[in-house]
Every structure is written in structure tokens, then in C-alpha cells.
Structure 1
């Protein structure tokens, strides 16, 4: 059988799990109770089934370094990581077709793709491996294969797959069905031949391209045009922006799966959740005797059925029940458990107001590490910077602020103007306005320092980069 190449789709708008998930740090990167991320767990599943030693990840250009850091954190296994970077979101059909063209060019059109969304939670990896093996057999017969989840309830928030006649290891697909009302969903569950659509796929590059040629030639043509003007010579491929944005914004279900001829579904035997709400995430935490589920420091008095998550501060809940309370440090969510899907309306409002909390956390990740805003006032801004070993900030200057740096852990290599120096713990330096400066961590452990900015404006757009090892100039 031809090589299997997992394709991880990673990104998202960060709406349903706000305030922990945000545009600059969406759901695949958030930490579960055990410290793992959804992306990290998806990578481990991919490595459990790949026989080519390669994993392709389609993600936003803004998530390039977050993804690389997460992969390094999640596994010590040696594998080839290939990143296909999107300049903006264009839904799953362009992402998957682009990945198929890329894999076909490098591995041949008989290579099989296993498409895995990065924000799914699957605990039983052994069952996952077995189901992938069944899907590969059908894919080798020319089927476009998806995985169907056996419904456990008449869920109205998922699309369904209507299964038809049996084939080896699964069923042919009669139809894809939109999210139903409750009565219709109850009928689907009672019928026994309907599955939830998990959004995971297995097919050969050849068969996907052939199907796209027939049912969505516009998607395929636009993807080919994008590939033609994109440099794909390295393992980090940044799609050319103009041609990428010319692609239709459409899902793989609408573009291909609903209209293709040879389609099959493999009933999944593994446990699955798309962690689509705070209720779903809360289910991962064991409840107490009153049904309260808590992550972090919380005290509940005379209340039950609550989910509380806090990242440091103590939360006390008195006389309340069936609430979701999430404290992310700079924003707090309080929601009725039965209305958590409306959280996205909060994010919509924040975006309309251009509020930072729709985009960023107090901790912002950068290629060299991260910074956390400790204070943001009209006359000063204070940050704690964490610079990874070998991390180098750009050579830069500011027109409207000066900075003071104080090392609290590690050794800092600093350039201020024409002077280079090493700063040890409890040593500091001053960077006047309009002065070239750069910070580097030459050590083998994280560097921590406090940065105090003084001036009349502290926006990130008051950074003039002259040199940058991460290509941000």
C-alpha cells in the first residue's frame, strides 16, 4: 500500500472557548487539564499511523512558530514536519486540495492523505489506529473515506452522515445531512444508520484530485494557480498571498464530499469530542459530589453543576448553579451552562469594538518566546519577557518610548546603540528613545527579564525592525 501522510488542519477563530482561546492563540494550542494541547495530542495520533515519517500541517502564517514550539514540546520522536502556511483563512477545501497537490508532487498521486483537524480529542489511540487501517483499505479501492461517530444522543449541533450499503470495513454514503432539529435527530438515532460527521478523511491524492476535477474544478484550478507561484522548496511553505486569496472560501464537505461519486464512511470505535464548547471541555474534569467541576483555585458554597476554570486567581462562587465561570487573568466569562454556544456573540462584539481581548491574551507569544503584560497605564507599560535559549529579538528602535530592562533569571546579551554587554541576574540597562537595541539569550535555559516602557505611546506598531532572524522586517 502507498505511503500514508497525515495532514493536520490547525487554526481557528478562537470564539467558542473564549476567553482562553483567542484569535492569536486558538483552540488547538490551549492546555488541557493534563498540560497537553489538542494540537500536541493530534500530532501524537498522526505519528502513530504514519508510515512515511512525515506529517504535513496546514496552518496560518501567524501560527508558524507556535506550531513548531508545540511539536517540540509534545514529542521527542524524529519525524519530518512540513508546514503549509496560509496568509488568511480559506476554509477546509482549499487547505486539503493544496495539501493533496503538495503531497502528490513529492510522493506521487497514489500517496494517501489522512486529514485530521487539530482541535479534536481522541483518547483511545489503539482504536484510532485500527479504524485508520480500515479506512486505508477503502481508500486503496478508490473511495473518499470519512469517519462517522456513532451518535450517543440526538445532537442538533452536528452534521450527520446517512450510511447506505455495506462495504469492507464500512458503508457507502447515501448522503450528508445538515444539522437537524431535535425531532429529526431523534429519528436519526433511532434509525441506527446515521453517524455524526467527524470531519476526518482518508483518500489518495489521485482520487481527491480526480473528484475535485469533476465536482469543483474552480477550487482545483485556484489551488493549482496558487501552487504555481509559491516556492515549495523547503519544509516551510508560505503560500503566495494574492493567489491564495483568490481561492473559494468553501468546506471540503460542500465542495467535494457531498457531490463525489465513490464515498464511504468507517464507523469510529474510538471516543471522540470536538471540544466545541465550555460544556464539552468541562466534561474532561471529574465532578465533586454536587456536580461542580473545577480547574484551578475555586471554592463553591451552596451550588452545584458549575464548571470553574481559573489561571491563578481564587474564584469563589456562592449560591449559584449551572454556571460556567472562566477567569483568564484579563477577562472573565460568566455564562449559563445551557447557553455557552452564545459565547461567540461576545467575541463578535469585541471585534466590532476592536478590543484587544478578541485577539490577544495578556501573554503574547513571539518566535523568540513570549511576553506578559503586568501593567498597561497611560504613562508606562510593564512586561515580563521570557526568551527561549537561542532566542533573538529583532534589531529595533522606538520613536515614542524608552525602555528599562532588568534581568531576573538567566544571562542576557544586549546591544544598546554601539555597545554590547552581558547582563546577569539583578543587573539592568536603559534604552533611550530612537536608539538601536537588541536582546538575545545566549544560554541553555529560559531568560526572564522585566521591561518597563516610558513614553506617550506603547503600541506594537512603534517598532522599527532593521534586522530579524525570523523574517519579520
Structure 2
């Protein structure tokens, strides 16, 4: 599952590029680490269920790993975790009703993957016997940010669940830790396809029928599978815990300690990063002087932190966050305020992925916008025109084939072209290496919806 936004990791995590797709860990994202976790002979190709808005990120990051998904199912809107749990079961059941499904959120960090995979292996027998196995993380602290599971006492690798508990206050969290019989609810499950289908039929019959109807609307689009938006929007927004886990009698738990973290804030990111002798962590070009236990992230350029303690400095190309680590949870409040003001920094990352590559904003002002573009080898943009803007193109590297009003020619490094307002045009990379170029737009209206497409045979930007 690769939905969610991760607003407490703003300004890096945004609606169009949330935390699971951020390459913060050795150049890989949490989504990629999740895919690699199950890239194993014991697992089939993954079924990815994610947001329609993230489809090109999903495809790009799978391609970077050289992996191919069994299916990439796009949700038109978010409807929590219950629908994906059943949709995955319905897809798997089409080929094998007894297939086992490991339902994994894509935004978790698991540092001891061998420990986790061993727990999955030990839980397989219970899942094949008709149990729904939830994996509980043995707590390392009295954390109030997670739900808890009360597990029956014993030493068996899989044990009965006695209760699901909502996120507690500090006093209850400390009592749970002292008790020793409670684990964090990680939202990771193992079950047979037919087991989950039967659970929905029994405990959520109306939702089951709605989701079956949704799945009947599946249709292909490039490498993705789409669902009818109106039918999907009618689904209840409900978690798998509320829908099934708290009602079913066949739920068991596999306690495990794989050094897991859902990395819900910048302070959580700091805890898992390498640190210098003073406890400082830097990502990108970061420098520390007379500072302790600080985090600095520089997406581009240099960030210097001097004489501070327990401070986070997160600098992207268009926004900077400075906060005390104790206030890490309050980043979400700032995001809500910015959203209420209609600020684009909440939703739009400067880099926007397309099936042919990406664009990245450089600068913008009244009547102009400048962006860099990368076009993958053999990829082509659709034939299009604009009513309110002209464009200038400059090739930085690679060879670009351009067509303007029916005239086709090649541009190489340092060559440029002008596209008049209203001219029909397209771009194509005929070469073996990516084309990198600069586009300057000028005109009275520079929004993305000023576009007329004149061909439906090419890929859509």
C-alpha cells in the first residue's frame, strides 16, 4: 500500500511526492525498500495499490530497481486501509483463492529485515489455517503515537489477540510497556485471499459488495489499472482495524522486534540516521558548528547550523522549516494553516514526474516561468498547443527531436527553438541517453490547464 501524505515531514513530503517516495535512505525511498523486502523467491511479483496522483512516481521507482509489479492498482481518492486489503485479496484470488497476501504499508523502515522475514515465515502456517495474522512490534519505549495490541502470554511465535487498543496517553503507554504483554500495531498483515474475502462477507457485507462492484470497473491505462472514480468515492473511509480486525475471531498476532519505525516526523528521521560525535545528522550539503543533536537537510545548496541544540533545519528549493525537535508533531499544524491559505507549497513539489520523464520548477514571476525537463530515451510528449503562452527550449544535453507546426528537426547541446503562441508542437528523444533541457514559458496565463491536445496516440504529459 502506497497511499498517504506524511504531512509531518513537510516541506519535503507533499501531496504529490509524499514521504514513502523520498530518497532519504542511501538514495532509496521507503517504497523502494518495501519492494526490495519482498523481492525474494518466496514472494510473487508485488501488487501495488496506490494513489492515482502518484502513479508515475510508482512506475519510476519500480523501474529504478529493475522490478515489475504484478499489478499497479490506482485509487482515485484515499479510502483508508480496508478497501486495499480486500482488493488485494480479490486480485490474488483470481489466480489462486488460497494465495497468501502480505499486506505492507510502503512507508515503514525495517532495519532488521531478516528478523521480520523470519516472523513472516513462522506465521505462514497460521495464515494457511485460516487465521489473519497481524504483526505486532515489541515496543522500545512508551510511545503515544501508535495503537497497541494486547497479546496472550506465551512464547509461541504466533499468539491469540486479546484486544486492540487506541493510541494511549503517556500514563497508559508507560503501563503497557511495564506490563510486557502489549505490542505496537504496525498495520502489517498476513492472510489467505479467501480468508479476507470471507471476513468481509461476514463483518462488512455492504462494503464487500461495494468493493466487488468497484473492481468490476477496472480498466487498463499504460502500465496501470484504473478504477471508476464515482464508484470508488462512494466507499466508506474505514481502516482494516475497524472494519475487520476488531470484529473477527480468527485474528492472531506475531510479536516481532525488527527495529521498525513508521518515521512519522523529522525527529523520528533523526533517530535512525547516522550521527557525528555531537549527535548531529546531515542529509545533503550540511555543516554543523558548536551544535548538538541537530538535523539538517539540504535539497540543494548549503545549510549551516551554528550554536544550536535539538533543532531541525529542512531546506528545499522553495521552502525552509526550522523547528525544535520537541515540536516535530506541530509541523502538521503549519501544513494545515498553509493549506487553508491555498499555498501551493503544501501540495506541489518543484519536481513533477511524467510518463516520459519529469519537469522541475526553477523560477517563476509575472508572465514567465522557467523549468528544467528530463525526457527519457525513446519517449515522446503528446502533440499540443497553448492559447496563452509561447515557449523557448534550450537543450542542455542529449539529442532532441522537435516538431513545430509540422516541421521536424533535431536539436543538440546548446541549440534552441522558439514555439509561438498557438503553434502545434511535440518533443521526442530518439537517442540512447536522457535529454536534459530548459523551457522558458512567457504569456498572460501559465497554468497547466492551458493545453490543447491534438493527438491521443502519444503519452500524456
TM-score range, shorter chain: over 0.9
| CA distance in 2: counterparts of 1:150 and 1:334, whole angstroms | 32
How far did residue 121 of structure 1 move?
0.8
| TM-score normalised over the length of structure 1 | 0.94
Give SS of 1:313's match.
strand
Name the structure 2 match of 1:309. Answer: 297
Match of 2:24 in 1: 32
Q: Deviations over 1:421-453 (max 9, x none)?
A: 111111111100011000111111110111111
Aligned to 1:65: 56
| Distance of aligned partners of 1:470 and 1:24 in 2 relative to their CA distance in 1, 3 Å threshold | farther
Query: Is contact 1:138–1:169 with CA below 8 Å preserved after alignment?
Result: no
Matched, 1:464 2:455: no
Cα distance, 1:466–1:352 mapped onto 2, change above 3 Å: farther
CA-CA distance at 1:384 after TM superposition: 1.0
TM superposition shift of 1:290: 2.1
Give the superposition deviation at 1:12: 1.4
Corresponding residue for residue 3 of structure 1: none
Higher mean C-alpha deviation, range 337-346 or range 166-175: 166-175
The answer for unaligned runs of 5 or more in structure 2 is none
Matched, 1:401 2:385: no
Partner residue of 1:54 out of 45, 52, 55: 45
1:388 paired with 2:371, answer no
Q: TM-score, normalised by structure 2?
A: 0.96
Confirm or deny: 8 A CA contact 1:381 1:452 kept in the other structure: yes
Correspondence for 1:175? 163
Distance 2:207 2:215 in 1: 12
**In the alignment, which of 80, 99, 104 is matched to residue 91 of structure 1?**
80
Equivalent residue in structure 2 for 1:120, among 84, 108, 123: 108
Give structure 1 regions of 4+ aligned residues with deviation exceeding 4 angstroms: 165-168, 232-235, 468-473
Question: For 1:417-456, what aligned pairs fall within 5 Å after superposition?
Answer: 417-456=405-444
- The equivalent of 1:298 in structure 2 is 286
CA contact 2:138–2:255 (8 Å) conserved in 1: yes
**How many equivalent pairs are there?**
461
Maintained 8 Å contact 1:166/1:172 = no
Map of 2:271 onto structure 1 = 283
CA distance in 2, matches of 1:367, 1:344: 31
**Secondary structure at 2:109 match in 1:** coil
Question: What is the CA–CA distance in structure 2 between the aligned matches of 1:400 and 1:98, rounded to whole Å?
Answer: 43
Deviation for aligned residue 1:408:
1.0
Q: Say if 2:28 is the partner of 1:22.
A: no
Distance 1:226 1:260 in 2: 24
Partner of 1:102: 91
Structure 1 residue 116: Cα displacement: 0.5
Q: Are positions 1:207 and 2:195 aligned together?
A: yes
Deviates more, 1:111-120 or 1:234-243: 234-243
Deviations 1:15-64 (A, max 9, x none): 1111111100111110124101111110011122644x321000111222
Whole-Å Cα distance in 2 between the matches of residues 461 and 235 of structure 1? 24
What SS does structure 2 have at the residue aligned with 1:311? strand
- Aligned counterparts of 1:111 and 1:306: Cα–Cα separation in 2: 46
**Cα RMSD after superposing both structures:** 1.8
Query: Is the Cα contact below 8 Å between 1:114 and 1:203 reproduced in 2?
Result: yes
Say if 1:54 and 1:300 are closer, same or farther in 2 by CA, change over 3 A: closer
| TM superposition shift of 1:178 | 0.4
CA distance in 2, matches of 1:447, 1:232: 28
Contact 1:42/1:118, CA 8 A, preserved across alignment: yes
Pick one of 338, 345, 359 that aligns with 1:350.
338
The residue that corresponds to 1:366 in the other structure is: 354
Correspondence for 2:250: 262
SS of 1:85's partner is: strand
- Specify the alignment match of 1:6 in structure 2: none
Using the TM superposition, name which of 30-39 and 230-239 deviates more.
Answer: 230-239
Question: Higher mean Cα deviation, 80-89 or 174-183?
Answer: 80-89
CA contact (8 A) 1:148 1:268 kept: yes
Which residue in 1 is equivalent to 2:152?
164
**Cα gap change, 1:355 to 1:234, in 2 (>3 Å):** closer
SS at match of 1:296: strand
| Worse-matched range after superposition: 165-174 or 119-128 | 165-174
> Which SS does the other structure have where 2:296 is aligned?
strand
Q: Does the 8 A contact of 1:49 with 1:129 survive in 2?
A: no
1: CA distance between counterparts of 2:165 and 2:337? 31
Q: Return 5+ residue gaps in structure 1 as ranges.
A: 1-8
CA contact (8 A) 2:355 2:460 kept: no
Deviations 1:227-263 (A, max 9, x none): 1233379973211111111110000011111111111
- 8 Å contact 2:6–2:264 — kept in the other structure? no
Contact 2:48 2:69 in 1 (8 A): no
The 8 Å contact of residues 405 and 449 in structure 1, kept in 2 or not, is answered as yes
C-alpha displacement of 1:155 = 0.6
